[in-house]
Amino acid sequence: MSSGQEAASPVPPWWIYRGTGEQRTEDIAELLPPPPPWRAFDGEPVLPVPPAKDAGFARRLGRPGPVPMRSDPQQVELINAAICLRRPLLVTGAPGTGKSSLAYRIAQELRLGPVLYWPISTRSSLGNGLYEYDAIGRVQAASALAAVRDGNPASAADVGDFVRLGPLGTALLAYEKPRVLLIDELDKSDIDLPNDLLAVLEEGEYFIPELARLASRTPEVRVFTHDLGESAVVRSGVVRCRAFPIIVITSNGERQFPPAFLRRCIRLDLPNPDVEQLAGIVAAHLPRGVGTAAAELIEAFAERSAAAEPGLPVDQLLNALYLVTSGNYDAHDESWPRLVDALWRQLSAPVD
């Protein structure tokens, strides 16, 4: 079947995310089927999704270009399965294959507001993904108020002023539509983090003990969220989702995850992009167009990436093409091949 015939193939009606890069005009609340009974949640109070900041998407995804993005239908099927089943999507693949960008593509196409980003390191824990409580800051604020108000610490040093929800904690608020959460490079984490995530992802809720202890006197507390300038009300110290978030968890395949964790995820492996997909990425990020020299570089990059293990990150191609399209490229300059070779050096190659 030719590429034209493939492009003309009808889109399955159950696909919510289509992978075209074009925003859907319909409201996702109308597109989403009801959740499975074992994945239904009823958190309150219901919150609207904050507006997206276009600059963040443009930096990650570029601008729509003359070469449309093409997504593999089997990959799109798995993404939609995760969305409909309300399960996390575990995305594996070599560095630079677009794992992290996938979360931004989903959020942009479905108009789900800014992506909540949780970059994982060896120091990451479930606690700082959920919330942070500044106990020392609260004590200092209460002492300062007591001194000003004749020894009577006032409620102005409210506990909510010292609680900020993390990216995971914010995603699990009772939003009317699912938020998109990117848990980036989970394989960098401490060995216990995947297991620690199980209960929270299964139950769709968590407790904030510092607020629960005050529930009899202050049943509702307004806290800061991970979104800059946004806040939300937490009741009785419990945060429970309503629309389960679309969670994209990325991994470079550097470690094995526990079977119990894998069982709760939909697994997607991203291969290295082909020439056509590379051309679409380049057109989005470099709107000046893809000339003959750039097209040749794309072909050369695809060949070298296919021969490398595990492949070359796409940003190395973009770096070279930016220099080529900047107006300073001279095909007769002997330094350009050396520069491109240096930019495309394998990440695992030893430095001479």
Question: pLDDT per residue over 309-345, tens digit each?
Answer: 777 888 888 888 887 777 666 656 677 777 777 777 7
Instruction: Determine the pLDDT at residue 69.
Output: 66
Contacts of 215 (CB under 8 A, 6+ apart): 236, 237
SS3 31: helix
Domains of the chain by residue range: 3-130+161-269, 275-343
- Specify the pLDDT at position 330: 63
Q: Is the model's pLDDT at 244 over the cut of 70?
A: yes
224 — phi, psi (to 5°)? -80, 150
pLDDT at 295: 80
- Tokens found for residue 285: 């990020």
Query: Which of residues 33 and 9 earns the better pLDDT score?
Result: 33
pLDDT at 270 over 70: yes
179 pLDDT higher than 90: yes
Residue 284, pLDDT > 50, answer yes
Mean pLDDT of 76-102: 93
User: Average pLDDT of 292-311?
Assistant: 79
Task: Return the pLDDT at 5.
Answer: 42
What does the pLDDT read at residue 322? 83
**Cα 284–Cα 285–Cα 286 angle in degrees, nearest 5:** 100
Confidence of residue 282 (pLDDT cuts 50, 70, 90): confident
pLDDT tens-place string over residues 102-153: 999 999 999 999 999 999 999 999 999 999 998 887 777 767 666 555 544 4
- H/E stretch holding 307: helix 292-307
Q: What is the model's pLDDT at position 333?
A: 67
* Residues 265, 89 contacting (CB under 8 angstroms): yes
Residue 180 is predicted with a pLDDT of 98
**Residue 289 pLDDT > 60, yes or no?**
no
**Does 222 or 144 have the greater pLDDT score?**
222
Q: Tell me the three state secondary structure of residue 347.
A: coil
Longest dimension (CA), the chain: 82
User: Above pLDDT 70, what percent of the chain?
Assistant: 85
Q: Is the pLDDT of residue 2 over 70?
A: no
Task: Give the fold, CATH level 3, of 3-130+161-269.
Answer: Rossmann fold (3.40.50)
**In the predicted model, is pLDDT for residue 20 greater than 70?**
yes
The reported pLDDT for the residue numbered 311 is: 76
Where b means 16+ CB within 10 Å and e means fewer, 205-223 reads ebebebbeebeeeeeebeb
Give the pTM: 0.86
Q: Which pLDDT band holds residue 154 (cuts at 50, 70, 90)?
A: very low
Q: What is the pLDDT of residue 316?
A: 83
Q: What is the DSSP letter of 187?
A: G
Model confidence at 101: pLDDT above 50: yes
pLDDT, the chain, mean: 85
Choose between 155 and 10: higher pLDDT. Answer: 10
- Residue 191, pLDDT > 50, answer yes
Helix then strand then coil, % of the chain, to nearest 5: 40, 15, 45
Work out the pLDDT band at 350, boundaries 50, 70, 90: very low
